[in-house]
Amino acid sequence: MLQLYIGNKNYSSWSMRPWVLLRQAGITFEEVPVRFDSFDANSQFKRQLQAVSPTAKVPVLVDGAITVWDSLAIAEYLAETHPEKHLWPQDKAVRAQARSVTAEMHSGFGALRSACPMNIEASLPEVGAIIWRDQAGVRADVQRLIDMWGELLARHGGPMLFGQFTIADAFYAPVCMRLATYALPLPAPIADYVRRVQQLPGVKAWIDGALAEADFRAFEEPYRASRA
């Protein structure tokens, strides 16, 4: 059986992507949680992951003798090994676009990711208002999302970015979590997409797991001194 090594569900956006992809696609796997204690070289987190991955980071997918690290590589491996799941769009041109926007998420949106770390349990609209006021990079990242998602939803008719659920939606699911946590301003069609993503069974299962953790990690919480 496939094994997926993940970090804390409340915080680990990169872990969320392949987990949601597997769960939403109905691919059987074993979840192997690795708690964030710290990211120091001698931390338990690093020691446990060094046994399975050369980067000692999450996520890691293990399929028998095959180990795949990096969320995008995992997604491509799953698309290759489960072609019947149609994890990418079937049309060549549409598939190329889906790969492009997924890679854009994988390498971009640094201002949004840095200023608004994923924290599913928290509600931080006041923090979000300050970030929105002060950080032009975050406003630019959100505008790119609005433009991109709006164009894709209009072109493909929704409810997901390419009509049906694909790897692209799995990759943007943690972004939806960030937008919700920090209550960043969105036009109605984009806010509706965020809500639809949150309601996907695979995403809802991840959110439920995050809320059940009750595991406050101070180094992941730049805006709170404790979990309320």
Q: Output the pTM of the full model.
A: 0.96
Q: Give the pLDDT score at 227.
A: 74
- Which residue's structure tokens are 């208002």? 129
pLDDT reading at 208 higher than 80: yes
Q: Which of 91-105, 117-131, 187-201, 214-228 has the lowest mean pLDDT?
A: 214-228
Peptide bond before residue 59 is cis, with ω within 30 degrees of 0: yes
pLDDT reading at 63 higher than 70: yes
Q: State what percent of residues in the chain have pLDDT above 90.
A: 90
pLDDT reading at 55 higher than 80: yes
Q: Tell me the pLDDT of the chain averaged across its residues.
A: 96
Average pLDDT over residues 62-72: 97
What is the phi/psi pair of residue 3, to 5°? -120, 135
Q: How confident is the model at residue 56 (pLDDT cuts 50, 70, 90)?
A: very high
Q: What is the pLDDT of residues 147-197, one digit of tens each?
A: 999 999 999 999 999 999 999 999 999 999 999 999 999 999 999 999 999
Q: Give the pLDDT score at 228.
A: 63
C-alpha–C-alpha distance, residues 136 and 111, integer Å: 9
Q: Which domains does the chain have, with CATH numbers?
A: 2-85 (3.40.30.10), 92-208 (1.20.1050.10)
